[in-house]
Chains A and B, each alone.
Chain A
Amino acid sequence: MLAVQARLTRSEFTLDASFGAEADGVVALFGASGAGKTTLADAIAGLVRPEAGRIALGDRVLFDAEAGINLKPERRRIGYVFQDGRLFPHLSVRRNLLYGLRFAPRDRRYATLERIVTLLGLEALLQRRPGTLSGGERQRVALGRALMAQPELLLMDEPLAALDVPRKAQVIDYIERLRDEIGVPIVFVSHAVDEVARLAGTIVVMAGGRVAAAGPAAEIMARLDLDPLAGIEAAGAVLDATVQSHDAAYGLTELAVPGGILRVPRLRLVPGRRLRVRVRARDVSLATAEPRETSVLNVFRGRVVEIGPRRGASVDVAVDIGARLTARITARSADALGLAPGTEVYALVKSVAVDPASLVQAEQDNP
């Protein structure tokens, strides 16, 4: 259990945030740049000192302004993966990985070099120097280095931001593996909704130095007021999906999602594999009568739950199809269809529109 409460004033910025999260799985600190995500992460790691507040990890108090407790970063046992990797340039990859091990209490060690190297695919890199690594390799080593210090919590500050798209996909796979196999709780700082949708179980939305919303990922992602809060086009829904079958002839994969079958461009995944799919609000359209003879393959029957405030020409409509789906339609259409909470609707999702970044899997995926 991570409990954070921190207030901190800079000349033109005030951080006043508090949140609590079960310390397992991935907690995402999500928000636009300047929202205070990194400052909050730094406060958790002990790199900046809040003026007031309390930070506790399990029963360990890391910081308590009133009680005068402020553990030094090296005493907090919190691993930090920085956006720029920050590998030690004068040490080999191997020695970078081993750097923190000597300070980890012997009875609290859970990651061995062998396991980390295998998990992150670092065998071929061990003797190399950081200067010779690619961006993706560097971030993998940084992940491994942080884990080898046997932290009780792993902080990642935009670890994918400096990477190009293919490398991003690769590193995110590795992070997913860590989440599933090592079981160390992770706080993941990001402004990219795809990454957050893919990894996080809990989402803390930050805006203007404050926590604007916090809760389970599916709930938060489906909220209609997320866009202005996060300051980015975030609206959409996250569906838990299971690979059901492949349609080789048409190059499609059928995913079982709550409320039906979602057909997406073919994925290289074996049936039974579970994954999460993000469906952007702007890729969902609504109809009040069952659409026939349409090119859209994915039609879900559901009921309007909520209609968000009008923004410009559009409104976001939340639809319950067994899970929450968000549709962004024009206000004009909403009025023409006479939508209101309770209205029965059909939600149409174009197969080709399903956010590929939320689906990307490693090419060498061998379950």
Chain B
Amino acid sequence: MITLEHVHKNYTTSKGTIPALRDINIHVNPGEIFGIIGKSGAGKSSLIRCVNLLERPSSGKIIVANEELTTLSAAKLRAARRKIGMIFQHFNLLSSRNVYDNIALPLELAGHTHKQMEDTIMPLLELTHLTDKKMAYPAQLSGGQKQRVAIARALASKPHVLLSDEATSALDPETTLTILQLLKNIRDTLNLTILLITHEMSVIKSCCDRVAILQEGELIEENEVGEFFTHPKTEVAKNFIASSVLQHLPAAIERHLLALEQPDTHPILRLWFLQGTATQPIISEISRQFNLHINILQANVEYIKNHAMGIMMIALRGENAKIQPAIQYLKERSVQVEVVGYVPNDIAV
């Protein structure tokens, strides 16, 4: 439904040319929710703006619904854009129009009659639970309500594709979930294709089918979401996952953490239970088999699309001679082990 082929985008400034996007290739299937995650400055905004040519790529092809947008005339591009809905981080509603008239805007632009507009808008108000807010102005609405108006507006021209530019970043976590649920609903009921960008792993986790990581203008990893969480390929992916499921170490430990092993210290490990290992009682096994004391500092198991994925931070105490074999045992059971550091034994954990 959406295909980007070898898309490059450069910005020319007084200091020279800055590459914002480098050789981006994406293919989003019909009815799919595709998420692109990246830190700020990674080029996410440029990327999503290239899809409907709000920003023109420096080179490359952009094909949406079998139409190559980069080759279209101005008038044909406007017609094509009507079939690409877009929602924004700051909603971008007209403060001069009430909810109904905001949703009517794309229909007015396309020259629909008042009757046609009403027939389109009333079901959309119902879908987005805004029927009672029909006459309200944006200033009277909450953030979540504003984004629902924006979604209804984006759907008014019956698009094939919806682009979401950090649509939940200005919302609180609870409202974020309701908006993401709404996006999933409309995908299911309208068979819409959704491309979204975000910097939050939770957005990817709760609504995407596939995900790609954008890092310094390049796509460095792409996968089905369940696979992405259980088989992350790059360090960046692992960091995103860890940041979404783990908090920091307790301050008392963080303060005394040593990078190298010294006498009278014990290791702190980060364990990744991927590939189905999250459901096995491995911790109690090593405790018994190697007679070790295991103190769980942090643990989290996530269920994403029928995949279970766990990350755990543990302190491993016991005879030094038993620690290495225990780590070996974990590795043999396909648990990924990272030694975070070492903590003196006299520190109470």
Co-assembled chains A and B:
no
Q: Which residues of B contact A (CB under 8 A)?
A: none
**Chain A residues at the B interface, C-beta cutoff of 8 Å:** none
